[in-house]
Structure 1
Amino acid sequence: MSESVTDSGHDTTSLTESSLSGGLIPPLTSSNKIAEKSNPFQTDGDILPQLPSHKFRYSVWHDLRETCLRGDQLHAPRVRAGPPEKEKMFFKIEQEGIPIHHNYAGKERLHHSNQQENWERARVVNLSYQELQDDYQRRNMLRILSRCGMAHTINLSQNTLYYLGKMTFPSCLHININDNYLKSFLGFPTLPKVESITAKNNAISDIRGLHRLQGTPLQELDLRGNPLAFNMGYRNMVFHALPNLRVLDGIPRMPSDEVAVDYVEDKEGKCNIL
């Protein structure tokens, strides 16, 4: 799942032999003086050593030879793709003569990874701030989410997500999808048991798909920062569509929200107040 970044050392200016003194002195040039000032911790002739953790830079936790950690125990896992050389080095990296990775391959390795990930037993899933910039990350994010059937709390904020309409979270009670690019309620996942949804700062501009939340035990909904929240009669429309709702945008249902509003949801999802 998670791939760490590389950590490279830095070459320092080497000592040169001076014909004037017969000893080893650093050449006194302006470029060397600038280099010395830019990195005051460098010592002439030395190369900074690699950190002890350098050998683990491409390792995923479930690829390690000795690990009892499972995916459902991780607080904030990261979805990242490793470079091509990761697989080339997989069976070669050692620590004190012992390979740091297991020796599984093919289907056996895939089976081992699935068992260690163990997303099916995760109760709290925090996959926020993933910075999903490539297809690998998006595919694996959806793969992980498809296995989170027992999760009661899910945080997917700050992930540049456009659509989750094909996902189902049968046990989810609380979900955070703030700061994504969801355009309507049609992009929401199926949430049969949800009690609270916070979907602030998305791009929801109309009530398309709001009916998908009808029949759920939803009590709290937060849509602040969405274009929809600036529409006339917005609160009345939402409370009318969701009779069980008790709190909208952090404000409890008020008598003014009970005013009857007749509306028609047209094909474009626009709400026409009658």
Structure 2
Amino acid sequence: LPSSSSGLTTSSQKFCESYSSCCSILSDTRTVPLVLSQNRGINRQNCDSGLPSPLPSDCFKYVSWCDIEEHDVQGNLLRCPRVREGPSEEELFFRGEHTLKKGKQTTDTEKWRKRLQENWEDCAELNLSFQDLGDLCQVGNFKRILQRLIRVEKLWLVDNSLTDLSAIRLPRCRELNVNKNHFTSFKQLPRVPQIQHLSLAENNIMTLSGISDFRHTPLESLVLKRNPCEFQERYRQL
């Protein structure tokens, strides 16, 4: 960047000027103006930032990483991506957050490009925790991604309100963390023939029925703390 006579770059000068003007606005806290929103009526200005709500970045709050244009980041390069789908356009419209428009048809080429960019088949280590799966369509999309993890070896699925992954097979998974979900039985877990470390803390496993399925796996450690099965008679022996 070209330097100015003061030694600061032109970009830095512009930033400082805009920052100073912003601070002068924030210093006047005697009144809290009201902002009229086109869709949501009257909103009070955010007292912490001094800026009206919603912020410009709000347009990205439902966007997953692969929907952002002009980048070549693939799924196997990420460690903790957001994969949860956002609400539909109809739902956003009824919330007053979106103007309903005629949906754009997604071409087969675009679908294939997105699939290649996700590249879940090459992931060896992945954290898909805290996805906030609040809708059935989001759970369906989440399971679609899990089915593509054919090479994953370490996988974290903490606190996703999961109840049944029995249709999922993770052939190379050695370490699986599904803490803080809603599993009630070992039968609801994904098939993990190479599992070595399995953590099921803070689920709702009632009995140890089905635990014998792990006899034919190289399982070394199993965490079951804070599950009802801890109170089963002869729990440690079983």
Using structure 2 for the length normalisation, give the TM-score: 0.70
Give per-residue Cα distances to partners, 1:124-176, cap 9 Å, x unaligned: 12111112110121011101100011110010111111111111100100000
2:118 aligned partner: 117
Counterpart of 2:86 in structure 1: which amino acid? A
Structure 1 residues 204, 50: CA separation in 2 closer, same or farther (over 3 Å shift)?
closer
Give per-residue Cα distances to partners, 1:59-88, cap 9 Å, x unaligned: 443233310101122222221314415994
2:136 aligned partner: 135
* Cα drift, residue 56 of structure 1: 4.4
Please give the secondary structure, in 1, of the residue aligned with 2:113.
helix
Q: Quick check: which has more Rg, 1 or 2?
A: 1
Distance 1:151 1:136 in 2: 24
Counterpart of 2:68 in structure 1: which amino acid? L
1:107 aligned partner: 108
Are 1:120 and 1:147, in contact at CA under 8 Å, matched by a contact in 2?
A: yes
In structure 2, runs of 5+ residues without a counterpart are 1-31, 36-43, 90-97
Are 2:64 and 2:85, in contact at CA under 8 Å, matched by a contact in 1?
A: no
Residue 75 of structure 1, aligned match among 79, 96, 100: 79
Are 1:132 and 1:138, in contact at CA under 8 Å, matched by a contact in 2?
A: yes
Over aligned residue pairs, what C-alpha RMSD do you find? 3.0
Counterpart of 1:197 in structure 2: which amino acid? L
Distance 2:59 2:115 in 1: 24
Task: List, as ranges, runs of 4+ consecutive aligned residues in structure 1 with deviation greater than 6 Å.
Answer: none
Counterpart of 2:151 in structure 1: which amino acid? M
Counterpart of 1:207 in structure 2: which amino acid? L
Please give the secondary structure, in 1, of the residue aligned with 2:109.
helix
Counterpart of 1:176 in structure 2: which amino acid? N
1:222 aligned partner: 223
1:183 aligned partner: 184
Residue 65 of structure 2, aligned match among 61, 64, 81: 61
Please give the secondary structure, in 2, of the residue aligned with 1:144.
helix
Structure 1 residues 50, 13: CA separation in 2 closer, same or farther (over 3 Å shift)?
closer
1:94 aligned partner: none
Are 1:61 and 1:67, in contact at CA under 8 Å, matched by a contact in 2?
A: no
Counterpart of 1:142 in structure 2: which amino acid? K
1:199 aligned partner: 200
Structure 1 residues 51, 191: CA separation in 2 closer, same or farther (over 3 Å shift)?
same
Give per-residue Cα distances to partners, 1:29-79, cap 9 Å, x unaligned: xxxxxx89x84875xxxx859866456455443233310101122222221
Distance 2:103 2:62 in 1: 8
Counterpart of 2:125 in structure 1: which amino acid? V
Distance 1:123 1:236 in 2: 34
1:7 aligned partner: none
Using structure 1 for the length normalisation, give the TM-score: 0.61
* Cα drift, residue 208 of structure 1: 2.0
Please give the secondary structure, in 1, of the residue aligned with 2:155.
strand
Structure 1 residues 216, 107: CA separation in 2 closer, same or farther (over 3 Å shift)?
same
Please give the secondary structure, in 1, of the residue aligned with 2:191.
coil
Are 2:62 and 2:86, in contact at CA under 8 Å, matched by a contact in 1?
A: no
| Number of aligned residues | 190
Give per-residue Cα distances to partners, 1:80-138, cap 9 Å, x unaligned: 314415994998xxxxxxxxxxxx94111111110111010111121111121101210
After superposition, where does 1:1-274 map in structure 2 within 5 Å? 12=33, 39=47, 48=52, 53=57, 56-57=60-61, 59-78=63-82, 79-84=84-89, 85=98, 88=101, 105-237=106-238
Counterpart of 2:85 in structure 1: which amino acid? R
Are 1:178 and 1:200, in contact at CA under 8 Å, matched by a contact in 2?
A: yes
